[in-house]
């Protein structure tokens, strides 16, 4: 029998027992402590050397096979070298996998949870309606309920409190504030850097030297109560829920998740409010594309799905009526995804749809923000309405037109397309040259004009006007224009990361286009009219519901939409620099200016530059259409100078050519 060598641990234990035998308890403890310290010192000395030996002998197990002692040292070294190379290869592969999966680890934006939180906040104002026409939940209470926090409010403080506790970190202060339930309204950072919890009192007040975070209460506790609707109360609830959701990193609403792929792919942003032609729009887009495999559609659908209680609109102006619908609204993608044409596109993820209820209809601005969160890095970003018709090979033409712009990739193409409907099944032939006009429409119109009008009350906004061009021929290159239409524009995909879509303009309809125009311009993007028409748009739509009609119904307040518009349009006025709204102290409430660092003007050009080249007089509320736009010439803001400024601003400089 072969005797086993005793382990080091057993040997040490045996010697230790001999040392402590017959000694007092204090002496025994002291000996044990000394031995442990000695062992630790020895381990600290030996462990780095052991680690070095292990690193140097990678692949040693392979070297120790039988007969290894007979192998030459050259073979052993060769094996060691191969082992190191394999280890390096494994590390490289792992790093590549981690880089590829890093965005997946962050996770996609959690839009259903976001919208459910907003719905909970607005619940008391919709309760009378939802009792009659209930809506299925979008997310579990465990995800949508709880106490949340506002973004940082610089220059604001809660009412002073000499007895309130202070903390070294914001995290500690927030945790204590949540524990106090109703007793704490938020946290204020003092001049000395400490964080103090404060009572809600009258709410935050201006304080030049302090900044605060507001505790947003759990809206799930009040969503089933009933409150009368007013513009201010509805705005406050919406604002707090939206700001807190954007502040919540777990929802991934403010993170840059994708870089632009320069592969000719096109993302189609479709905002659909109870639109019966949405399905036809989706079908036409893929059916008439030259490269349908390069398309991805991101649809935000807001439908009434109740089998018997949906309402709709009919007639126009004085003949307009709100009548009972024949049934629930059709799903935009369901039929397409079941068809032979659409099945593959849907299965391969080229059709992404967020299905919301009619009560979640908060206007085009908010919906476009949700649309943008369905973008996955596609080369081009095409925004359309859910009632759009397409020419054959429209995708090839729009991509060619974009690349033909002088300032690509910092370019946006837009106009009001000619009238048409996606339900029209007649052929619309492809262009002979992808970016040149044909005899159907000739030189496309552009957006050079605007008028000023009231936005539901005392505040003014800007309405765009279609403008003809003063040239007869086109050389296949889009020419500069002034404004962007919300129902059709195509831009480089970098607008999602560089400009973004503003979620803090709910319920607005008038004002979307001037806001898009001035934000694109000040962020360094030049606006062009198309060189050829490849889309058609269904205007008026007398027999369809309008979202502003739903607002009065859902909130049980017939004139609420006009009141909300008149309140919230101040944010647009501030963007454009209307003299009555060009400073924070002129805006009430000042929460209308939340997060303008992310969703406001850019720094490449100024709002004053925009209104100057546009011929807009913001005092007199008039505009003279500039000659350069009629003629399709470049305005005074030279393209090359703008490129230099873009370089200094850091806007995707690698994309410049």
Sheet containing 380-385: which strands, arranged edge to edge? 351-357, 295-303, 266-273, 380-385, 488-492, 411-414, 526-529, 479-480
* In the predicted structure, residue 165 carries a pLDDT above the cut 60: yes
- Give pLDDT tens digits for 260-310: 999 999 999 999 999 999 999 999 999 999 999 999 999 999 999 999 999
Q: Which domains does the chain have, with CATH numbers?
A: 111-251 (no CATH), 266-655 (3.90.550.10)
What is the mean pLDDT of the segment spanning 79-108? Answer: 50
Residue with token string 């404060």: 198
Above 90 in pLDDT, residue 532? yes
- Cis amide prior to 409 (ω within 30 degrees): yes
User: Rounded to an integer, what distance in angstroms lies between the CA atom of residue 523 and that of residue 427?
Assistant: 39
Per-residue model confidence (pLDDT) at position 156: 87
Kindly state the percentage of the chain with pLDDT values over 90: 70
Q: What band does 89 get if pLDDT is binned at 50, 70 and 90?
A: very low
- Please compute the mean of the pLDDT values over residues 446-458 and round it to a whole number: 95
Enter the pTM of the model.
0.82
Q: Which residues contact 640 (CB under 8 A, 6 or more apart)?
A: none
State pLDDT tens for residues 495-530.
999 999 999 999 999 999 999 999 999 999 999 999
Concatenated DSSP letters of 478-540: -EE-S---SSEEEEETTHHHHT---SS-TT--TTHHHHHHHHHHHTT-EEEE-SS--EEE---
Q: Taking 50 as the threshold, does the pLDDT of residue 4 lie above it?
A: no
Percent of the chain whose predicted confidence (pLDDT) is above 70: 81
Q: How far apart are CA 247 and CA 183, in angstroms?
A: 22
- Is there a contact between 373 and 500 (Cβ–Cβ < 8 Å)? no
Distance CA 162, CA 173 (A): 15
Q: How confident is the model at residue 636 (pLDDT cuts 50, 70, 90)?
A: confident
Q: Residue 541 has what pLDDT? A: 86
Half-sphere exposure of 137 (CA within 13 A, CB side): 12
At 91 the pLDDT is 47
Spatial neighbors of 614 by CB under 8 A, at least 6 apart, are 450, 482, 483, 623, 626
Average pLDDT of the segment spanning 615-636: 95
Is it the case that residue 360 has pLDDT exceeding 90?
yes
At residue 476, the pLDDT reads 74
Which residue pairs, CB below 8 angstroms and at least 24 apart, start in 623-628?
623/449, 623/450, 623/451, 623/452, 625/448, 625/449, 625/467, 626/448, 626/482, 628/480
């Amino acid at each position: 029998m072969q005797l086993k060598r005793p382990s080091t641990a057993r040997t040490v234990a045996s010697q230790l027992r001999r040392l402590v035998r017959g000694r007092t308890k204090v002496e025994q403890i002291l000996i044990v402590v000394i031995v442990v310290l000695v062992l630790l010192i020895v381990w600290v000395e030996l462990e780095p050397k052991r680690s070095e030996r292990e690193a140097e002998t990678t692949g040693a197990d392979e070297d120790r096979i039988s007969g290894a002692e007979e192998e030459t040292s050259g073979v052993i070294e060769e094996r060691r070298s191969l082992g190191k190379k394999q280890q390096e290869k494994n590390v490289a592969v792992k790093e590549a996998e981690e880089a590829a999966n890093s965005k997946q680890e962050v996770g996609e934006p959690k839009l259903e949870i976001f919208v459910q939180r907003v719905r909970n906040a607005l619940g008391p104002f919709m309760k009378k309606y939802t009792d009659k026409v209930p809506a299925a939940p979008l997310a579990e209470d465990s995800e949508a309920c709880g106490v949340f926090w506002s973004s940082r409010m610089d220059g604001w403080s809660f009412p002073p409190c000499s007895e309130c506790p202070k903390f070294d970190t914001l995290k500690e202060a927030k945790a204590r504030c949540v524990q106090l339930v109703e007793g704490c309204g938020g946290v204020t950072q003092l001049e000395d850097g400490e964080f103090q919890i404060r009572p809600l009192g009258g709410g935050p007040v201006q304080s030049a030297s302090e900044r605060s975070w507001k505790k947003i209460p759990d809206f799930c506790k009040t969503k089933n109560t009933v409150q009368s609707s007013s513009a201010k109360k509805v705005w406050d609830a919406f604002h707090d829920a939206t700001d807190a959701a954007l502040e919540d990193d777990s929802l991934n609403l403010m993170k840059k998740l994708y870089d632009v792929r320069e592969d000719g792919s096109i993302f189609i942003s479709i905002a659909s409010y109870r639109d019966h032609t949405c399905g036809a729009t989706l079908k036409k887009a893929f059916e008439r594309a030259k490269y349908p495999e390069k398309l991805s559609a991101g649809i935000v659908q807001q439908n009434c799905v109740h089998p018997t209680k949906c309402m709709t609109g009919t007639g126009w102006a004085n003949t307009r009526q709100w009548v009972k619908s024949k049934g629930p609204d059709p799903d935009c993608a369901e039929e397409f995804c079941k068809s032979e044409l659409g099945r593959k596109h849907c299965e391969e993820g080229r059709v992404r749809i967020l299905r919301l209820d009619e009560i979640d209809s908060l206007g085009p601005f908010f919906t476009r923000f949700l649309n943008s969160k369905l973008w996955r890095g596609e080369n081009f970003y095409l925004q359309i309405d859910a009632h759009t018709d397409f020419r054959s090979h429209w995708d090839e033409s729009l991509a060619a037109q974009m690349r033909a712009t002088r300032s690509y990739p910092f370019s946006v193409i837009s106009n009001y397309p000619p009238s048409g409907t996606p339900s029209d099944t007649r052929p619309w032939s492809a262009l002979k040259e992808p970016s040149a006009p044909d005899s159907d429409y000739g030189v496309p119109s552009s957006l050079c004009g605007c008028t000023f009008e009231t936005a539901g009350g005392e505040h003014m906004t800007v309405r765009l006007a279609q403008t003809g061009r003063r040239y007869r021929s086109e050389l296949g290159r889009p020419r500069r224009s002034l404004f962007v239409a919300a129902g059709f524009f195509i831009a480089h995909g970098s607008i999602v990361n560089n400009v973004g879509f503003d979620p803090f303009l709910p319920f607005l309809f008038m004002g979307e286009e001037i806001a898009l125009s001035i934000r694109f311009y000040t962020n360094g993007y030049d606006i062009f009219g198309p060189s050829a028409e490849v889309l058609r748009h269904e205007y008026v739509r007398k027999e369809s519901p309008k979202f502003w009609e739903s607002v009065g119904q859902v909130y049980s307040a017939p004139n609420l939409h006009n009141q909300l518009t008149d309140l919230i349009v101040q944010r647009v006025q501030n963007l454009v620099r209307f003299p009555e709204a060009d400073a924070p102290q002129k805006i009430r409430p000042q929460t209308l200016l939340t997060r303008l660092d992310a969703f406001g003007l850019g720094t490449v050009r100024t709002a004053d530059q925009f209104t100057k080249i546009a011929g807009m007089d913001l005092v007199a509320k008039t505009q003279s259409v500039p000659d350069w736009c009629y003629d399709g010439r470049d305005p005074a803001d030279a393209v090359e100078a703008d490129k230099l400024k873009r370089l200094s601003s850091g806007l995707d400089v690698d994309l410049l050519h």
